[in-house]
Amino acid sequence: MEEYTSSIRFDQRLAAVDIRGSIAHARMLGRQGILDAAEADALVSGLQALLQDIEAGRVSFRVEDEDIHMNVERLLHERIGPVAGKLHTARSRNDQVALDMHLYMKQAIAEVMAKVRELQAALVEAAERHLDVIIPGYTHLQRAQPVRLAHHLLAYFWMLERDHARFADTLRRTDMMPLGAGALAGTTFPIDRVQVAEELGFASLYENSLDAVSDRDYLIEFLAAASILMMHLSRLAEEFILWTSEEFSFIELADAYCTGSSMMPQKKNPDVAELVRGKTGRVYGHLIGLLTVLKGLPLAYNKDLQEDKEGVFDTIDTLLPALTLFAGMVRTMRVREDRLAEAFARDFSNATDVADYLARKGVPFREAHAVVGRLVLEAIRRGTNLAGLPFEVYQAASDRFAPDIYEAVALERVVDARTSRGGTGREAVLAQLNMAKAVLGE
Ligand code: ARG
């Protein structure tokens, strides 16, 4: 029974915030005259000393003491005697654990946001470094139109920007203090919740005690934002996995982010990218897990709520290294310009531009589309691309073609013709890069 119900195995990571909350609570009890000054001082200095011991690893927690709150109280009792028992005046573990999680998540969300920024900075840096590298762009995973690699990388910058905003928004609802709700109904003691909220740096407090001890919305929001972030990372991971394959060979990842095979000597596997893709599953699982724990749960506290922690902690532990490693992987990746040149030698992703060329000369686009379709077939038959077709072939296909068609199909020209805002042309990408840098405060 003790093993089954105890949470100390995973909630010991709340020790520091638990003690911070208790110190603020003890000070308030003293100021309000609920405890006398000497008692409050004894609690505060005892808790401070205990925190140092815990941080130095000089303390052992016991499963019999169930959770971090009871363990801290027992350890405090061992140090300062029976006055330790006064700490829990006007408080329940229900509002205490809610407070701890809010304090913990405020830090964790800020850390995740900083790591998101780090990856965004790595993407901007790589985009700038490879501004003039052109890669095939795909739809249906079929060659579509060429794009700048910088443009492709910056697409992820903006996804991460929305992720960052989602975490910032979650943080606003995490920045609320539940303490003072008691077990569920408030307390008979003359506490001052505003004092405690100010001391702990909360922007606001819960206005309903039942809500305060029962709310886990902010954790669900965190898991939802984390799931979307992991979904973005796993898409980038998938692209890196494809791009490093022999078949694509657009980039090469630094050895530090890859592993070999125990059997096949030639292998260089993109393990980090694969694990990020794989670990996305557990984060989604935690979101559905907590949503399901909360579904139909009556007010107020129920022990089910203890199940909020492991999934949230595991999500934090999954996100932080994924973001760090991804930033390093992006910073150190090498672009295979040789292989990209080969890829474009057998490429028709400038076909739209030939059709646009005819359309600009008055040929209805649908007709132009058909003409270019026939030119593509002819080029395939001759083992070349659109730039490699002799001019007679163009002339035979349509009398609107002039020799400047060869300029129109040149790769840089094709890309830079996409001058529309948000497009892949050099000027448009430079403008985008500047906006991204402004977001980062550069
Ligand atoms: N370990 C508990 C949790 O994480 C703390 C609250 C316990 N409250 C209670 N009434 N048993 O939810």
Taking the chain (442 residues) in runs of 10, the rounded mean pLDDT of each run is 97 98 98 98 98 96 97 98 98 98 98 98 98 96 95 98 98 98 98 98 98 98 98 98 96 92 84 97 98 98 98 98 98 96 88 94 96 95 94 95 93 91 96 98 89
Whole-number Å distance, alpha carbon 319 to ligand 1 midpoint, is 26
Q: Ligand 1 pocket: which residues have CB below 6 Å?
A: 7, 11, 67, 93-94, 97, 301, 303, 305-306
ipTM: 0.97
- With CA atoms as reference, report the closest residue to 18 among 45, 50, 40, 41: 50
Cα of 91 vs centre of ligand 1, distance in Å, is 13
- The C-alpha atoms of residue 191 and residue 196 are separated, in whole angstroms, by 9
Between strands 204-205 and 176-177, the pairing is parallel
Instruction: Give the CA angle between residues 323, 326, 331 to the nearest 5°.
Output: 125
What pTM was estimated for this model as a whole? 0.94
Give the count of beta carbons closer than 10 Å to the beta carbon of residue 161: 17
pLDDT value at residue 120: 98
Type of residue at 153: L
d(CA 400, CA 372): 12
CB 117 within 8 A of CB 440: yes
In this predicted structure, what is the pLDDT of residue 218? Answer: 98
Ligand 1 centre to CA of 82 (Å) is 23
| Distance of alpha carbon 335 from alpha carbon 134, whole angstroms | 10
Domains contained in the chain, CATH given: 2-89 (1.10.275.10), 97-140+147-337 (1.20.200.10), 343-441 (1.10.40.30)
SS3 state at 337: helix
**Helical (H) or strand (E) element with 398:** none
60 is catalytic: no
Whole-angstrom CA distances from 396 to 265, 343, 402 are 53, 28, 12
